[in-house]
Amino acid sequence: MTSGNAAHDLPIAIVGGGFSGTLLAINLLRYGVKVALIEKSSAQLAKGVAFGTRRPEHLLNVRASNMSAFPDDAGHFLRWMNFSATDEANRFVPRLTYGVYLRDVLVEALGKAGSNAQVINGEAVSVDFAGEAPRLHLADGEVLDCRSVALALGNFPPVPHPVLEALPDSLYRPDPWDAKAVEGLAGLDHVLVVGSGLTAADVVLSLGSAGFAGKMTVLSRRGLKPLSHAPSGPVVTPISDPDKRGSALVREVRERARDVGWRAAVDALRPHTQNIWRRHSVEAQASFLRHLRPYWDIHRHRLAPSVAERLEALETSGRLRYVAGRLSSAEAVAGRVLVSYRLRGEDGAAMIEVDRVYNCAGPDCDLSRVDAPIVQDLLAQGLIRSDAHALGLDVDHLGRVRDAGGAVQDRLIAVGPITKGEAWETVAVPDIRRQVWGLARFLADAHWVGGEGL
């Protein structure tokens, strides 16, 4: 049994050592808080899924100038890259380079922290809150007593597609982030990519770089494709927090877009997006998700211009085709997949025969079916529940996780994309670095002393 004060000497256990977990650890260590960072994939330590890619064609979708790991040191990444000229700051660097940066930043922080930090290579599978100190169990049988647990689990793999799940492994790639997803392409002639967002763009580029010379059909409900960043840096005139809501707000943004261009109009919302989301009722948020989300996504999460150019060239050459429709069936026939889909706005079905199908339908957010032992353990114990829109975990504004009855728990916290139900924008680096910076200050009680001018 651990007494209250002794519990304070225990580390905060951070489950998941991708961008969110790593940056939370680094910020806590800055305040002298003990940390145990637990990552199941040693190759992904500090990098996570997004920046653990080994493929150089996968570029950041944010300019180098906005990719510092620290909100209080905007030039940190630029200095690490040795970038000083404006055109360098405007570059979209390979994600694997950014992963090396994150690993460097972590190694430096660990070096300074000494015995305050431990990195554990293992999978956390359950947490026991019965004793005074939470006890974390790892898959290999190790246990860790801690002060509190921070879940930084990242994005879960794509939603299983009911039509595709019965296909044999040889014809179906359910996880596009798997490093092996673009292996074994010899002899393939036509692939189908289901979903048309940034992950689909990654897959299309990687297929090309891996030597695939056939056709690619990208199928999504609306057939929308991510738009491109402007070739030169953004010009944003800051606006004050818009007080309009719902459709009046959409009208205001449209009008502004006519004056300053759609990119600047969307970018001007960035500092306010979390407040705007929180001010809307659950019903209004649901209406946004139903009607506007796909359009928001393509305008807000943009492609690096060079990536957009490559995709456009593939489209022009006839090798890449975006189709708006809904998958109806997929059947394995003589080593290929016979796919039928219903075209958007039309009655009839269309059919194609492909050699492989990729599921890029976006991360699964349904906790009940996520294949992650820790999620299932916490659900079974009634310690977590879905947020109102089933986008991830139900948390309060500080990231404290709500249990099945809605009570906020001080010793269970979550960060990163799994908290997007609370603030919507908790997915990209600029948002997460601010989230973990604030959370670390709160967990270290640093919001009361030093820096607040009390």
Beta carbon of residue 152, minimum distance to ligand FAD (angstroms, whole number): 5
Total interface residues for ligand FAD by CB under 6 A = 35
**Contact status: 155 vs ligand FAD (CB under 6 A):** yes
Nearer to ligand FAD by C-beta: 96 or 188?
A: 96
**Full DSSP string of 35-104:** EEEEES-GGGTTTHHHH----TT-B-SS-GGG--S-TT-TTHHHHHHT--SHHHHT---BHHHHHHHHHH
Residue 423 in contact with ligand FAD, rule: CB under 6 A: no
Identify the residue whose tokens are 């300019």: 63
429 binds ligand FAD (CB under 6 A): yes
268 contributes a contact to ligand FAD by CB under 6 A: no
Residue 19 CB, shortest distance to ligand FAD, in Å, is 4
The whole-angstrom distance between residue 6's C-alpha and the CA centroid of its chain comes to 35
HSE, CB side, 13 Å, CA atoms: give it for residue 34.
14
* DSSP H stretches of helix in 228-323: 246-260, 262-267, 273-279, 282-287, 293-300, 305-316
425 contributes a contact to ligand FAD by CB under 6 A: no
Q: What count of Cα atoms within 13 Å lies in the side-chain half-sphere of residue 160? A: 10
- The answer to whether 439 contacts ligand FAD (rule: CB under 6 A) is no
- Using CB under 6 A as the binding rule, whether residue 25 contacts ligand FAD is answered as no
| Calpha distance 384→374 (Å, rounded) | 11
What H or E segment, with its residue span, contains residue 144? strand 143-145
50 is an interface residue for ligand FAD by CB under 6 A: yes
Binder to ligand FAD among 44, 206, 220, 409 (CB under 6 A)? 44
Q: CB nearer to ligand FAD: give 199 or 409.
A: 199
Residue 417 binds ligand FAD (CB under 6 A): yes
Choosing from 7, 10, 33, 61, the residue that interacts with ligand FAD (CB under 6 A) is: 61
Q: Which of 144, 361, 412, 427 binds ligand FAD (CB under 6 A)?
A: 427
Stretch that binds ligand FAD, among 153-161, 186-194, 215-223, 224-232 (CB under 6 A): 153-161
Binding of ligand FAD by 97 (CB under 6 A):
no
Nearer residue to ligand FAD within complex by CB, 167 or 203: 203
Q: How far apart are the first and last CA of the chain?
A: 37
Q: Which residues contact 277 (CB under 8 A, 6 or more apart)?
A: 285, 423, 424, 425
Give the nearer residue to ligand FAD in terms of CB position, either 188 or 372: 372
- Provide the minimum distance between the beta carbon of 84 and ligand FAD in the complex, in angstroms, as a whole number: 22
* Cα–Cα distance, 444 to 426 (Å, whole number): 21
Among residues 62 and 314, whose Cβ is nearest to ligand FAD? 62
Q: What are the strands, taking DSSP E only, across 334-423?
A: 336-343, 349-354, 356-359, 400-402, 408-414
Other beta carbons within 10 Å of 81: 17
Q: Which of 416, 419, 425, 444 binds ligand FAD (CB under 6 A)?
A: 416
For residue 311, the minimal CB distance to ligand FAD (Å) is 16
Residues that bind ligand FAD in the complex, under the rule CB under 6 A: 15-21, 38-41, 44, 48-50, 60-62, 95, 123-124, 152-155, 199, 202, 372, 374, 416-417, 427-429, 432
